[in-house]
Copies of this chain bind each other. A is one copy, B any other.
Amino acid sequence: MAGLFEKHRVTLDKAIEVAAARTYWSAYPEAPSGKIYGETAKADAEAAFIAMRGKPFDLGQNAGHTVGQEKSPWGFDLGISYAAPSVAELIERGTAAGKRWACASGDERAGICLEILHRINRQSFLIGNAVMHTTGQGFAMAFQAGGPHAQDRGLEAVAYAVMEMRKVPKAALWEKPQGGGQEPLRLEKSWRIIPRGIGVVVGCATFPTWNGYPGLFASLATGNSVIVKPHPMAILPMAITLRIARAVLVEEGYDADVVQLAPDNLDQPIAKELVTHPAVGIVDFTGSNAFGQWVRENARDKQVYTEEAGVNSIVIDSTSNYKGMCQNIAFSLSLYSGQMCTAPQNIYVPRGGIATDEGHKSLEDVTRGIASAVEKLVSSPERAAGVLGAIQNPATLDRVKAVSAKGKVALASTSYEPPGTSGARTATPAILTADAGNPADDALVSSEQFGPISFIVATNTTSQAIALAAGLARAKGAITAAIYSTSGATIVEAADAFAQAGVNLSCNLTGGIFVNQSAAFSDYHVSGANPAGNASLTDAAFVANRFRVAGLRRPAGG
């Protein structure tokens, strides 16, 4: 039983060390390279993915009926069916399986979690295919974000869980001195870690593994059995994940049902029944503010961790690298067609223009500069498809049209079928212009317009821009913010305002790092301090309340 812990101890120790230092580290190589993952890994995974299509997915879960309606945003039905146990069956099995799991030591559970992550990593190409063909991401992004980066986030959660559990000593001798020459009072005390109850992970359609792994591994490592309720359009990545997890659990002598899949169809959703079940102690939710609010209000006797949505902003004050700034912003707007919770939406620019290394640029110059950089990035349809990906939900295309019709279009979105696909849609970024203070514009920019829609918002001053962006973050939530400025005082002003609004701020990004990227072990993804989510991935608060402690004390020697 200690074998897996010893096998992965070096990885775990390093993860714990880096999570404290928050420097760069990754346990799982992000390059989709044959040298790392095996020369045939890519071809094998493609073949394996094709072989999965049109068949039942065998996870060893019995159920009276099956579900499965996944469609690849790249233009075909997956045709995969999944056994769909009822909520009652899932809870009964999870409760039964959880009993032995709760008795394992924290280190033993960590070893098993790390073995699961290790084997998931070996299947990164398969996971990449599954993520690509459920989310619509380009393959490179699906591999990286859905594979190694998600695995790093899972490992980070295990590392925090181990740190928190190690704080609880197994035993202590409590010896209280007594006055008057009396013997001290002596108690032998011992403590055990007890689970909260079943953990439920409710996943999203755009980042099924990256957003799913932290809650899954945090609950698992702290001794809870887990039920994963993936988005009905993105079941496969978590099904593959859980097949690996269940195999490792069984090899280690545990019931496979320590982790279970709870698949459903869009027209018969089970999330509400599942998250409110009395046996559920923990809910991890990624999705819309509307359903996030429902979960927070209705699962209120559970520990609920949410990542919801918000309106992310960029404030442009000045720059010493105008070209780099425009290119960097253009990539952030284009990546996965803005279908990221971290994508910027509002770009605030002073009406009087900005100072740059290329001289003064007017508001119109800046708008054109960013628009041109976007046009250049997406000019080749082949190359563009890899960056933009495909549109996951047709409603996003409708939204692009509707918002474009209401606003002033500086760059129109083009929607087309990516080369070599049939029935898929991709969409280039729409850039609209808006005036701060214009009521119609304010209404548009102050709501999340999910997808490839952004606004250049004209403000009187940079200070007004910062105040508007930070105020919006407080009111509607925001996960990221960026500022471009050559003024130290302005950066301090922005840092204060966005910190008070609970938003992580990126400053003067012009190179290979983008505001929408969040690095495991280093960036606290979501602050938990504004409506974009109530928790951070990952910190101590994300794991410390997933277990409780029960004590036993008795007279020493008694």
Interface residues of A (CB under 8 A from B): 20-24, 31, 164, 167-169, 172-179, 185, 187, 189, 191-192, 194, 196, 296-297, 300-301, 491, 495, 498-500, 502-513, 519, 522-524, 527-529, 536, 539-541, 544-545, 548-555, 558
Contact = CB atoms under 8 A, between A and B. Distances in A.
A178 B551 CA distance: 50
Contacts of A24: 174-177
Contacts of A506: 552-554
A40 to B, nearest CB: 22
Contacts of A519: 174, 176
B551 A508 contact: no
Given A167-B540, A524-B191, A548-B529, A185 B512 contact: yes
19 contacts: A20-B169, A22-B172, A22-B174, A22-B189, A24-B176, A167-B540, A187-B513, A194-B499, A297-B300, A504-B550, A504-B552, A505-B550, A507-B552, A509-B555, A513-B553, A527-B548, A536-B548, A539-B544, A545-B545
B549 A511 contact: no
A23 B550 contact: no
B505 A172 contact: no
B498 A550 contact: yes
A359 B519 CA distance: 68
B550 A499 contact: yes
A542 to B, nearest CB: 9
Number of copies: 2
A491, A503, A523: most-surrounded residue (chain B CB, <10 A): A523
Contacts of A196: 529
Listed from nearest, the 5 A-B pairs whose CB atoms lie closest are: A507-B554, A499-B550, A529-B548, A541-B544, A541-B545
Nearest to A504: B551
Contact of A23 (B175, B499, B505, B555): B175
Contacts of A500: 194, 550
A192 B499 CA distance: 8
Given A167-B540, A508-B554, A541-B544, 5 more contacts: A21-B169, A21-B172, A513-B553, A527-B550, A536-B548
Contacts of A554: 491, 506-509
Contacts of A551: 504-505, 523-524
Contact of A502 (B179, B297, B509, B548): B548
Contacts of A499: 192, 194, 550, 552
A297 B191 CA distance: 31
A506 B555 CA distance: 9
Given A507-B554, A550-B529, A540 B296 contact: no
Given A23-B175, A176-B24, A536 B508 contact: no
A22 B553 CA distance: 12
A277 to B, nearest CB: 16
Contact of A167 (B20, B187, B296, B511): B20
A329 to B, nearest CB: 15
B524 A164 contact: no
A14 to B, nearest CB: 15
A173 B23 contact: yes
Nearest to A173: B23
Given A21-B169, A22-B169, A495 B552 contact: yes
A554 B508 CA distance: 6
